[in-house]
Structure 1
């Protein structure tokens, strides 16, 4: 039987400190567009194949490339209209391949965090030193192209090793999106430094909604609104976090964009919603609530 990895500890809602977001907001909403680069013929990984079809997979490659050519612009315009800034889950190699996308996001004040170098290169089977090199490359590349500090992490294709969280904390990363266990930021158990898990919902991810659950664009818009309504209501007791993870090659399709845009307008119409970036949420939580949450968790474990 596999043991619990011990990445985080349990604490029920009713024993947590009360979180109040800026200006009394009940819910912090952040949008995480995955702006990715998939290699046409990536190096093989013995633990996972990058494509479901034999290489070279022209169909899958060009479908994802649609996001970088057309879909991201529609998605960005919908976010602009509703007043959202993005927190870009970035394959950092995209800085070299499509600098115009980086420039457009940076001009809007979007955050950039790392989604690895390419989305076709996984950390499965890597050594600790090899994975550390990816983190260091991401830190340096994001600073070079945007001037920003790397604050967040989403592993390429959600691939992790037993030491990944420790490495992130060692390199000054503030939050990870690789854990899906809560609707509030939570301390992650690391050997040194500090790391929090940022709510990043697979249920709200357009890949799951469209490709796995096969829902319509209209239904996805309703899912976004229902998620918001429920978490906003729960935020009366203690502030919650809602993430909308996106992929421009999916949500940016012409027939899908308007229901998504309408859902964003709906969220933005509420004065008690904080339209934030992942970095802003992490900084606010770390400054005001991390210690209180850690103490409450320790008391709950006693």
Structure 2
């Protein structure tokens, strides 16, 4: 075997066929959770040697202002549609938002949404962090969300999806019990960590609105149709999890929100979906292990 080709040992290999069935509450076929990314991007972040925060030179006024649409306008549009059709949010939170725009966090809390950490800022990357720096981010996340909402975070989605080799071990050490950073399965799975217990809950890049609009160049209608097709297949197979990761400045634009609402209505009215928060899905799965 070539150097670097070994299995990283993050989780056991378990083929999809032959697994014990997962039962969701109410005998529902698929657990559906919506993950709004409530984020804060710095207009002129510190430069990182491995990754540029913006495609343009800093300060990137256009990039910042485009994303600021989330916190000024499109969060409310997205959140109202979710609430209308009975979808609570499980928030991937840039925890600095608690200081920059506490009104957004308060609105999500008032809607009964769950919070987990997406780092401090989405313009700060974990690459090459030492252990002390990474611990500080985790501790800051726990403290900031608790002070702002009273909730103790249980989950983690790495800032801008950036990691170190120790990230999963550290979040488990601090008592977090699920990660959204592994995209390897359509059901929850145990993650191997040095201490504690950690579950990988299915998140998604494939039906993430960022990928839909920036990578796959979908229209709003094409993205909504993709959500419906994803749902229909997972519901037919049963015992599955569907995540809908969102960014309000994308999905909450006036020309996209209508088709998105149609997709939510389809899922809510179908009858096979257990519409839940991420922590509830993790708890229901763990109870069967």
TM above 0.5: yes
Question: Which residue does 1:259 correspond to in 2?
Answer: 259
> Secondary structure of 1:32's match?
strand
What is the distance in 1 between the residues matched to 2:113 and 2:217?
Answer: 30
Question: Which residue does 1:295 correspond to in 2?
Answer: none
Question: Which residue does 1:274 correspond to in 2?
Answer: 274
Answering whether residue 67 of structure 2 is matched by residue 64 of structure 1, we say yes
CA displacement at 1:128 relative to structure 2 = 1.3
Q: How does 1:6-45 map to 2 (within 5 A)?
A: 6-45=9-48
Question: Which residue does 2:198 correspond to in 1?
Answer: 195
10-19 or 262-271, which moves further after superposition?
Answer: 10-19
What is the distance in 2 between the residues matched to 1:280 and 1:180?
Answer: 19
1:197-221 per-position Cα deviation (integer Å, ceiling 9, x unaligned): 1101100100100011101000011
Q: How does 1:277-296 map to 2 (within 5 A)?
A: 277-289=277-289
Contiguous gaps of at least 5 residues in structure 1: 290-302
TM-score, with normalisation over the residues of structure 1? 0.93
Aligned length: 286
Answering whether residue 188 of structure 2 is matched by residue 175 of structure 1, we say no
Contiguous gaps of at least 5 residues in structure 2: none
> Secondary structure of 2:32's match?
strand
What is the distance in 1 between the residues matched to 2:35 and 2:279?
Answer: 11
Question: Which residue does 2:232 correspond to in 1?
Answer: 229
CA displacement at 1:253 relative to structure 2 = 0.4
What is the distance in 2 between the residues matched to 1:245 and 1:205?
Answer: 5
CA displacement at 1:288 relative to structure 2 = 2.2
Question: Which residue does 1:105 correspond to in 2?
Answer: 108
Q: How does 1:16-165 map to 2 (within 5 A)?
A: 16-165=19-168
Give the alignment's Cα RMSD to 1 decimal. 0.8
1:104-159 per-position Cα deviation (integer Å, ceiling 9, x unaligned): 11011100100000000011110012111101110111111111111110000100
> Secondary structure of 2:242's match?
strand
What is the distance in 2 between the residues matched to 1:213 and 1:274?
Answer: 28
> Secondary structure of 1:117's match?
coil
CA displacement at 1:4 relative to structure 2 = 2.5
Question: Which residue does 2:247 correspond to in 1?
Answer: 247
> Secondary structure of 1:269's match?
helix
What is the distance in 2 between the residues matched to 1:96 and 1:284?
Answer: 33
What is the distance in 2 between the residues matched to 1:234 and 1:133?
Answer: 42
TM-score, with normalisation over the residues of structure 2? 0.97
> Secondary structure of 2:31's match?
strand
> Secondary structure of 1:255's match?
helix
> Secondary structure of 1:12's match?
coil
Q: Which runs of 4+ in 1 moved over 3 A?
A: none
> Secondary structure of 1:28's match?
strand
What is the distance in 2 between the residues matched to 1:74 and 1:163?
Answer: 38
